Structure 1
Amino acid sequence: MAGEPREQSAPVVRSAVWETYGPADLSAVPVFAGGFINFGYWQSIDLERPLSEGDRVRSEQDLYRHVLDAAVPEGGRAVEIGCGLGLGCALALEEYRLSGITGVDIHPQQLQRARAANAPLLETEPQRIHFVQGAAESLPLGDGEFDFLYSVEAAQHFPDLSAFAGETARVLRPGGRVAVASFFTVDDVPAHADRLAGMLDSFANGLDIARPVSRLADALADAGLVDVRTRSIGSQVWPGWDRWLSRLWKPGTWPRNFLAAWEQQILDYYVVTASRP
C-alpha cells in the first residue's frame, strides 16, 4: 500500500532558479515557444527548410514523447519532477491513458502558471491531475505511490543527484520505471565545469550544474534501482536547437555555444532509465 505523503515545509529555491523560473518567467521567452521550456527532440523535423513556430512546439512535445515512451508504456500513475507549466503532464495524461499524474515543481510561481494553464483539466479531471510544490531531493509524496517517474530537462538544476535518486526509489512501486532527460558532461574531467562556465552563461551564473551523466546513473544504482541505462540523444537535440536559435541569436552569442560544447565533446544530452526491482 502506498504511504501517506510527507508533510514538509516549503523547499529552499536556489537564487538562479528562483529568478529564471519566477520573475523572469523563462516560459515566456520566444525561444521556448509553446511554453514547454526544453531544447526539443528534432528527429522528425526537416532542418534543411525554414523552421516555423509549429516545428518548435512539436520538437518540445516530441522530447516529452521520447521520454514517456521510455518509462510510461500506458496506464498507471505517473509523476513529473520539474513540471514547469504542466503542459507535459497534460500531454502524458491524454496520450498515455494514465489513471493519474502529479506534477511537482520547486517554484511556487511555476505552479501558479501550471494551474492556470491546465484549469480546464483541473476542473473536468480533478482526480487525475494534481500539482504540488516540492524539491527533487525531498518529494512530498507517499512511499510506493507511482508506477512511473519522469523528468524532462530539469535534472541539470538538481543540487543533489543522490538524494533525488533515493527519493525516486522511495516513491516508485516495485516494478516502477524512471526516465530522466537532461544535459550532462560526457565524463568527469574536472576542467569541464570551468570550460562550460566560460562558454555558457547558464553554467556561469549557477542555473545549470556541470556534472557527468555517470553521476546520475551511479546514484540510481546506489539507491537500489536496476537495469540502469544511459543513452545519448544529442544528435537529435543539439543541431535542431542551434538551428532554431539561429533565428533569434547571432553566431558567437552564448546560447549558440551549446552546439559547440557538444561538438567539442564536453556536453551531451541523455536519457537515463532504470527500474525499481
Structure 2
Amino acid sequence: MTADDATGARPEGAIPSAVRTVYGPDDLGSVPVFRGGFINFGYWDGISLDGPLTVEDRVRSERQLYRRVLDALAPAGEGRGRALEVGCGLGLGCALALEEYAYDSVTGMDIHPDQLARARRANAALLGAAPGRLRLVRGAAERMPFEDGEFDRVYSVEAAQHFRDVDAFARECARVLRPGGRAAVASFFVPGDETRPDAARELALRLDSFASGLDVARPLGALTGALAAAGLADVRAVSLGPSVWPGLDRYLEGLDLGVTWPRRFLRSYLDGLLDYYLVTASAP
C-alpha cells in the first residue's frame, strides 16, 4: 500500500493523545521556537552565539540539522535513488533533500493527518512542478505502508522521541530498506544503554514535554540495540549535543515564551540526563 494519504498503517485513534494535540490543534510548527517550519532544535555550528540571534539564524540552524543527517547518508548533490523521511512534519526537510541532495524521489510519512495537510499546502509548488518526486503518505513509524526494499535511504529528524515502540520502528526500517541501503535517525535520548527511572522522573519534573507524554525518556541503547537486533549493520551513534543545546538555549533566551521549562533542556544535558544523537546504520 503506497498511495498518498495511506491510512492502513495506524488509525488516527491510535495516535498518542499528546502527539494528537500538539501536532493537531496546537500546531507546534506555528510557535516562535520553530520559526521556519522544520520543527527541530537546530544544529548551530558556524552560527555565532555571542550576540542576539535572528530568525534567519534559527532557520539556518534547522536547515543545518537536516543537512547533518542527510550528509550522514550520502554527500550532497549526488543522485541517491529513493528516500523516506519518517515523521516528516511539514515536509520542508523532504524538499531540502530533493533540492540539495538530488534524490530521485522522497516520500514523507507522518502519522498525523493535520501535519500532512499542512505539508501539502507548504509544498504545493513542488508537488505540482515535479509530480512523483515528492509523495506525502500517512503511516506510523512502527508499521509503514510500503513494500519490502522500497527505499535506498531512510531518515528521521527529531521524531523518534515520540515513538512508542522503537523495536517495531527498527524492524520496519530494516524491512523497507534495500540491501546496501542506509538509515539515519536524529533525536534526543537518555545517555547510556540501560533504562534509567531516575532520569525519566527528573525529566518529567523539569520538562513539560516529558511530563505530558509527548516525549519518551528512552535510553540511546534502546534504539541502537533495536537497529542491530533488526539485522542492520554498522550501527553507530554520535553526540550532537555541543552543536544543539547551547545554540537552542541562546535562541530561547531572546524569546518571550511565557513559560520557563524549555530553558531546562540545556541544564538537563549538562546534568547528563539527556543528549542529542545522530544514529546511523546500514542494511547488509
Identity of aligned residues (%): 62
Q: Secondary structure at the match of 1:227?
A: strand
Q: What amino acid sits opposite 2:254 in the alignment?
A: R
Aligned residue in 2 for 1:148: 153
Matched, 1:139 2:144: yes
Q: What amino acid sits opposite 1:34 in the alignment?
A: G
Aligned residue in 2 for 1:264: 271
Aligned residue in 2 for 1:64: 66
TM-score (norm 1): 0.96
Distance (Å, rounded) in 1 between the aligned partners of 2:256 and 2:239: 26
Matched, 1:238 2:245: yes
The two structures, once aligned, show a CA RMSD in angstroms of 1.5
Q: 1:22 to 1:55 in 2, by over 3 A?
A: same
Q: What amino acid sits opposite 2:36 in the alignment?
A: G
Q: CA deviation at 1:97?
A: 0.5
Q: Secondary structure at the match of 1:237?
A: helix
Aligned residue in 1 for 2:112: 107
| Structure 2: gaps (5+ residues) | none
Matched, 1:161 2:163: no
Aligned pair count reads 274
Q: What amino acid sits opposite 1:15 in the alignment?
A: S
Distance (Å, rounded) in 1 between the aligned partners of 2:276 and 2:140: 22
Aligned residue in 1 for 2:34: 32
Q: Secondary structure at the match of 2:19?
A: helix
Q: CA deviation at 1:56?
A: 0.2
Q: 1:252 to 1:114 in 2, by over 3 A?
A: closer
Matched, 1:228 2:235: yes
Distance (Å, rounded) in 1 between the aligned partners of 2:30 and 2:105: 28
Q: What amino acid sits opposite 1:81 in the alignment?
A: V
Distance (Å, rounded) in 2 between the aligned partners of 1:234 and 1:61: 17
TM-score (norm 2): 0.94
Q: What amino acid sits opposite 1:44 in the alignment?
A: G
Aligned residue in 1 for 2:201: 194
Matched, 1:97 2:99: no
Aligned residue in 1 for 2:46: 44
Distance (Å, rounded) in 1 between the aligned partners of 2:201 and 2:27: 27
Q: Are the aligned partners of 2:7 and 2:139 in contact in 1 as well (CA < 8 Å)?
A: no
Structure 1 residues 14-40: Cα deviation after superposition (integer angstroms, max 9, x where no partner): 100000001000000011011100000
Q: Secondary structure at the match of 1:228?
A: strand
Aligned residue in 1 for 2:8: 8
Q: CA deviation at 1:50?
A: 1.2
Matched, 1:179 2:184: yes
Q: CA deviation at 1:190?
A: 2.1
| Structure 1: gaps (5+ residues) | none
